[in-house]
Amino acid sequence: MKNVNSLLTATALSLVAMPALAQTEVVWWDFLSGGDGVRMKALIEDFNAEHPDIQISGTTLEWGVPFYTKVRTSAAVGEGPDVMTYHLSRAPLAMEEGVLSEITAEDLENGGISVDDFFESSIGAATFDGGLYAVPFDIHAIVLYYNADMLAGSDYLDADGNLTGLDTLEDFEGALAWLKEQGVETPLSYQTGGDGGTWRVFYTLLKQQGGDFIVDGEILPGDNAEKAANAINTMAGWRENGYTPELAEYEASVALFTSGQSAFQMNGVWEVPTMNDMQSKGTLGYEWGAVEMPPLMGSEATWADSHAFAIPNEGDDTISGEKRAAVMTVIGWMEKNAIRWADAGHIPAYKPVAESDEYKGMEPNSTYASLAGNAAFDPQTTITGVASPTYDTALNIIVPAVHGYFSGEDAVAQIQQELTNLMQ
């Protein structure tokens, strides 16, 4: 018994002497609310459960200008997070402000990923002067949603109920006219009264003509002005013919489609969960689908952006060593588990997931996945991107032009004047 007691005592002492498992805390900021927020929180919880040595401490902040303002001010005084979500369209402004830390080849290796794992369009949007400053998590773009029931009996559905025959603007407007003849009051819905929805449709139509919004610091130079005016006049024509709603805010534009009042909707992939949820609950009332935006203006191109992961600078410094390696472990894990983020409608920027059988089995996601190769990101300037001066011009100039207050040509002249002053 004495020997047993001695053995137990020795074992207890050795357990007391064992050092506790070292744990690295990764401070995380994001701007993700709604369904996106729910999915990201679940990913964070699972990462923490699988990595007792690395724990993410997450905080969700207000989307848009408030988020980016807080990031800028906190990074300047060295009180920012270790990692954060970031829109790639906002990265140029962050570069000018010195907010983002370069992601090196060693960083990527620590995360078990490489630049070759990502779609070229998203990597290009994250690259400045040859350096990578964010790791794309998704590609999100607008798509064309359609109500298959409303198109029944038309030439615009094939035998399997899939959208077909919309290869040109003439085709599309023919479909809208046909729907109008069938008594559909508002055949096409998008956010006609807001900045984001209007900009995304306008920019898509501009890029489909081979147009560029900014070239060498000039706003719509040369024939780009004519292409921009054509895009605006096309949108104005839809309104004049009663195809689109008058000054519809975002929620109203979605409701027009989900309630079965519109046959088409031009909106982001992020509304796919809304449609799936309503269908599963039996509150949708019709069959639907979503496809890559048709090449209405001649070529395939669609406005797009990316949620990405970025490491902020901390004053004149940045995180390094074990903490930085832990951050890259977090980023790499998120990329490899992006199939669960795809459930929010997004296209994974990480190709091994986007090209997996599991993703190919997701509908309608896999149907519009081709747009990753035609993604048209905003120009890499400090006046474009989410919550930027360009979005302000969309609201203050393009929206009124679409609603008949002045021509597309006059709108372009105003855009050039407004934004040229900001480029200087």
**Res 9: pLDDT:** 46
CB 330 within 8 A of CB 83: yes
Q: Is 357 helix (H, G, I), strand (E, B) or coil?
A: helix
**Res 115: pLDDT:** 97
Domains of the chain, by residue range, sit at 22-136+307-375, 142-304+380-423
Q: Does residue 265 surpass a pLDDT of 60?
A: yes
Instruction: Quote the Cα angle for 340-345-347, to 5°.
Output: 80
Task: Kindly state the average pLDDT of the residues 82-90.
Answer: 97
Give the HSE-up count for residue 372: Cα atoms under 13 Å, Cβ half-sphere. 23
Both tokens assigned to 73: 């001010």
pLDDT tens for 292-313 read 999 999 999 999 999 999 999 9
Q: Does residue 10 surpass a pLDDT of 60?
A: no
**Res 423: pLDDT:** 85
**Res 258: pLDDT:** 97
**Res 207: pLDDT:** 98
Q: Is 138 helix (H, G, I), strand (E, B) or coil?
A: strand
In DSSP terms, 44 is beta-bridged to none
CB 377 within 8 A of CB 124: yes
Which 8-state DSSP code applies to residue 294? P
Instruction: Report how far residue 43's alpha carbon sits from residue 334's, in angstroms, rounded to the nearest whole number.
Output: 7
Q: Does residue 8 surpass a pLDDT of 50?
A: no
**Res 142: pLDDT:** 98
**Res 424: pLDDT:** 65
Q: CATH number of the domain at 142-304+380-423, please?
A: 3.40.190.10
Which 8-state DSSP code applies to residue 394? I
Q: Does residue 11 surpass a pLDDT of 60?
A: no
Task: Kindly state the average pLDDT of the residues 258-285.
Answer: 96
**Res 317: pLDDT:** 84
Instruction: Report how far residue 410's alpha carbon sits from residue 406's, in angstroms, rounded to the nearest whole number.
Output: 6
Q: Does residue 339 surpass a pLDDT of 50?
A: yes
Q: Does residue 416 surpass a pLDDT of 80?
A: yes
Please state, for a pLDDT cut of 90, what percent of the chain lies above it.
Answer: 90
Q: How would residue 12 be classed by pLDDT, with cut points 50, 70 and 90?
A: very low
141: closest CA among 359, 298, 370? 370
Cβ-based neighbour number of residue 405 at 10 Å: 12
- Give the DSSP H or E segment for 24: strand 24-30
Instruction: Report how far residue 170's alpha carbon sits from residue 400's, in angstroms, rounded to the nearest whole number.
Output: 24
pLDDT tens for 215-258 read 999 999 999 999 999 999 999 999 999 999 999 999 999 999 99
Task: Kindly state the average pLDDT of the residues 47-64.
Answer: 96
pLDDT tens for 61-72 read 999 889 999 999
CB 349 within 8 A of CB 356: no
Q: Does residue 125 surpass a pLDDT of 60?
A: yes
Q: Does residue 76 surpass a pLDDT of 90?
A: no
Give the HSE-up count for residue 68: Cα atoms under 13 Å, Cβ half-sphere. 20
Task: Kindly state the average pLDDT of the residues 152-173.
Answer: 95
Q: Does residue 14 surpass a pLDDT of 80?
A: no
**Res 387: pLDDT:** 87
Instruction: Report how far residue 114's alpha carbon sits from residue 177's, in angstroms, rounded to the nearest whole number.
Output: 48
**Res 20: pLDDT:** 52
Instruction: Report how far residue 123's alpha carbon sits from residue 115's, in angstroms, rounded to the nearest whole number.
Output: 7
Burial of 74 per CB tally in 10 Å (0-12, 13-18, 19+): middle
pTM: 0.92
Give the HSE-up count for residue 419: Cα atoms under 13 Å, Cβ half-sphere. 27
Q: How would residue 7 be classed by pLDDT, with cut points 50, 70 and 90?
A: very low
Equal fold, 22-136+307-375 vs 142-304+380-423: yes
Q: 54 φ, ψ to 5°? A: -130, 125
**Res 398: pLDDT:** 98
Tell which CATH classification among 3.40.190.10, 3.40.50.1220, 3.30.300.30, 3.60.21.10 matches the domain 22-136+307-375: 3.40.190.10
Helices (H), 186-294: 195-208, 224-240, 250-258, 272-281
CB 265 within 8 A of CB 256: yes
Task: Kindly state the average pLDDT of the residues 351-364.
Answer: 96
Whole-angstrom Cα Rg for the chain: 25
Averaged confidence pLDDT in the chain? 94
**Res 21: pLDDT:** 56
